[in-house]
A and B are shown apart, each in its own frame.
Chain A
């Protein structure tokens, strides 16, 4: 197994004179995976410097997280890596579900036309990490990457965090105002803090394999219940770039992980799944999964994001996607706190908002896990009869759950959002993640709405001139502003004025410009109004 060629990332010896006294940094990030690197970039875009430490000096060994959802691609666009990710990735929208040899359902994941990002994009985690690393290099003064630097202790007081960092050239102390623990499911920071990580473990084991094959595969997700090539279990086959496919095979609770990893065990399984197409194995892993979360993601000056905060069963692309979405929610808040424009209590909204998303992801992925691997006779009975009814009944096709795919989380009713204007109705109410739409510049040049919203607070007027409010940019669609060539902005955003957060969620809206209400709602969205929202 050759595997992806992973070049070593540069190691730098411990800094001299950059110790606790001389080199206090605003943010230390532990973990240089997709979540930690996205955080470093997002903070750098807001002018906040960070040091990223990782005990390894290689990108991910296999594809691992490889399906990226539209909301995450929108975030990658905002981070400045969307183009590189799209240039390399395989975009797809169609999912085919089989039972044995029979097609049960064909699911189209992109019912919304007129958005820039694809429904989903497949790109191996190591490619995403390489693209994020290249982007980090655009900020040499703001992002300090330290590979083969291992955090061995973390202590905090009211003012910040001090890390003990071990390298092959000795130890040093790193002082930071804030620490982001983006160090994955087996988070060392979480372990050092001895925090409970509660939830449940699933007994089912899965084999995942990156396979090189010259045979053509369609840009679709194929999912089988009880495939003829792998009786009684589930299977998933999905194309990746570089002439690779990803194969996931359910092995059941009794599989021996060490044995199932052996090439002589794996090869016949892959051969059966590929139906005789030629192949080489690139990377193989056997894993079991669990569903757990920290009760709180913010612990004083230490903030958890991604798998360190919540591990989600791997159904529906909810793991790394949720991690990047955590970062998207966190970084603008942290930048406001570091800049003195908001108090640290703003971070409580990160806990509440991303806690809701984690709970939602855990609930949905947990259901998927049980649909794939029923644990009780009743679960198996109902699952099997849904599959049987799906042949003739559309309702049962819709209940088939081969991994309900990741969708963004609405933040309505949480503290930063204002109550909806009673005069408003329809989609895109407070808390909704912004949907993209085509727009044109006044000179007729075509573009997209989301990049115009950028990563700052924006008062968006749709068919209405937005009022001027300090601390927010203004953007108008119609009324002499951006054009709405397909009418999709007006269709998706009922006429009115919207406060858009830096993470492109609606914080508040009104049918008519309301400068005083807008100023108040903006203060609330920045965490300056403490009482709980509507």
Chain B
């Protein structure tokens, strides 16, 4: 059911994407870095952030 009220994970995803609207590629990359740092702080669990960094790196190769 559609309910008015609490934001959903879809809402959060949409907000992250929309935050980039109108930004240059450089500014967009800076926004992403800021978001990651802010969210890492919100997580409040450095070990979890380290695990996430490892998981995010998986499948990406050195230039």
From 382 to 435 in chain A, residues with beta carbon under 8 angstroms from any chain B beta carbon are 382, 386, 388, 392-393, 395, 398-399, 401, 404, 407-410, 412-413, 432-433
A360 interfacial by beta-carbon distance below 8 Å: yes
Tell me whether B23 and A408 are in contact (CB under 8 A). no
Point out the residues of chain B lying under 8 angstroms from A386, CB to CB.
13
Point out the residues of chain B lying under 8 angstroms from A376, CB to CB.
20-21
Q: How far is the CB of B24 from chain A (nearest CB, A)?
A: 10
Tell me whether A399 and B2 are in contact (CB under 8 A). no
Interface bits B10-33 vs A (CB < 8 Å: 1, else 0): 100110110011010100100000
Other-chain residue from B2, B20, B59 in contact with A409 (beta carbon distance below 8 A)? B2
Q: Do A382 and B13 form a contact, CB below 8 Å, given A376-B21, A377-B28, A392-B58? A: yes
Point out the residues of chain A lying under 8 angstroms from B14, CB to CB.
367
Point out the residues of chain B lying under 8 angstroms from A392, CB to CB.
55, 58
Q: With A and B bound together, what is the CA distance between A412 and B14 in angstroms?
A: 24
Q: Do A401 and B10 form a contact, CB below 8 Å, given A377-B28, A378-B20, A410-B3? A: yes
Point out the residues of chain B lying under 8 angstroms from A83, CB to CB.
none
From 157 to 192 in chain A, residues with beta carbon under 8 angstroms from any chain B beta carbon are none
Tell me whether A404 and B21 are in contact (CB under 8 A). no
Other-chain residue from A378, A388, A410 in contact with B4 (beta carbon distance below 8 A)? A410
Tell me whether A407 and B2 are in contact (CB under 8 A). yes
Q: With A and B bound together, what is the CA distance between A433 and B20 in angstroms?
A: 36
Tell me whether A399 and B10 are in contact (CB under 8 A). yes
From 7 to 63 in chain B, residues with beta carbon under 8 angstroms from any chain A beta carbon are 9-10, 13-14, 16-17, 20-21, 23, 25, 28, 55, 58-59
Q: With A and B bound together, what is the CA distance between A86 and B16 in angstroms?
A: 41
Q: With A and B bound together, what is the CA distance between A245 and B21 in angstroms?
A: 38
Q: With A and B bound together, what is the CA distance between A360 and B20 in angstroms?
A: 23
Q: With A and B bound together, what is the CA distance between A393 and B58 in angstroms?
A: 12
Tell me whether A393 and B17 are in contact (CB under 8 A). no
Q: How far is the CB of B33 from chain A (nearest CB, A)?
A: 13
Tell me whether B1 and A410 are in contact (CB under 8 A). yes
Q: With A and B bound together, what is the CA distance between A370 and B21 in angstroms?
A: 13
Tell me whether A404 and B23 are in contact (CB under 8 A). no
Q: How far is the CB of A356 from chain B (nearest CB, A)?
A: 8
A200 interfacial by beta-carbon distance below 8 Å: no
Other-chain residue from A360, A378, A388 in contact with B2 (beta carbon distance below 8 A)? A360
Q: With A and B bound together, what is the CA distance between A386 and B16 in angstroms?
A: 13
Q: How far is the CB of A311 from chain B (nearest CB, A)?
A: 19
Q: How large is the interface on A (under 10, 10 to 19, 20 to 34, 35 or more residues)?
A: 20 to 34
Q: With A and B bound together, what is the CA distance between A409 and B3 in angstroms?
A: 7
Other-chain residue from A367, A378, A382, A407 in contact with B10 (beta carbon distance below 8 A)? A367
Tell me whether A378 and B13 are in contact (CB under 8 A). no
A345 interfacial by beta-carbon distance below 8 Å: no
Tell me whether B13 and A408 are in contact (CB under 8 A). no
Tell me whether A399 and B13 are in contact (CB under 8 A). yes
Point out the residues of chain A lying under 8 angstroms from B25, CB to CB.
377
A379 interfacial by beta-carbon distance below 8 Å: yes
Interface bits A348-368 vs B (CB < 8 Å: 1, else 0): 000000000100100010010
Q: With A and B bound together, what is the CA distance between A223 and B39 in angstroms?
A: 32
Q: With A and B bound together, what is the CA distance between A408 and B59 in angstroms?
A: 40
CB closest residue in chain B, given A399: B13
CB closest residue in chain B, given A386: B13
Q: Do A378 and B9 form a contact, CB below 8 Å, given A408-B1, A410-B4, A433-B1? A: no
Q: Do A382 and B59 form a contact, CB below 8 Å, given A410-B2, A410-B4, A412-B4? A: no
Tell me whether B59 and A388 are in contact (CB under 8 A). yes
Tell me whether A393 and B55 are in contact (CB under 8 A). yes
Other-chain residue from A378, A407, A413 in contact with B23 (beta carbon distance below 8 A)? A378
Tell me whether A399 and B9 are in contact (CB under 8 A). yes
Interface bits A269-281 vs B (CB < 8 Å: 1, else 0): 0000000000000
Q: With A and B bound together, what is the CA distance between A433 and B2 in angstroms?
A: 10
Q: With A and B bound together, what is the CA distance between A407 and B9 in angstroms?
A: 17
Q: How far is the CB of A386 from chain B (nearest CB, A)?
A: 8
Q: How far is the CB of A392 from chain B (nearest CB, A)?
A: 7
Q: With A and B bound together, what is the CA distance between A296 and B23 in angstroms?
A: 34
Point out the residues of chain B lying under 8 angstroms from A399, CB to CB.
9-10, 13
Tell me whether B16 and A382 are in contact (CB under 8 A). yes
Tell me whether B10 and A404 are in contact (CB under 8 A). yes
Tell me whether B3 and A378 are in contact (CB under 8 A). no
Interface bits A213-253 vs B (CB < 8 Å: 1, else 0): 00000000000000000000000000000000000000000
Q: With A and B bound together, what is the CA distance between A409 and B20 in angstroms?
A: 30
Tell me whether A378 and B17 are in contact (CB under 8 A). yes
CB closest residue in chain B, given A427: B1
CB closest residue in chain A, given B31: A378
Point out the residues of chain B lying under 8 angstroms from A432, CB to CB.
1
Q: How far is the CB of A363 from chain B (nearest CB, A)?
A: 9
Q: List 27 A-B contacts (CB under 8 A).
A: A357-B2, A364-B10, A367-B10, A367-B14, A376-B20, A377-B25, A377-B28, A378-B20, A378-B21, A382-B13, A382-B16, A386-B13, A388-B59, A392-B55, A392-B58, A393-B55, A398-B9, A399-B9, A399-B10, A399-B13, A408-B2, A410-B2, A410-B4, A412-B4, A413-B4, A432-B1, A433-B1
12 further A-B pairs in the complex, CB-CB below 8 A; given A377-B28, A378-B20, A409-B1:
A360-B2, A367-B14, A378-B23, A379-B20, A382-B17, A388-B59, A395-B9, A398-B9, A399-B13, A412-B3, A413-B4, A433-B1
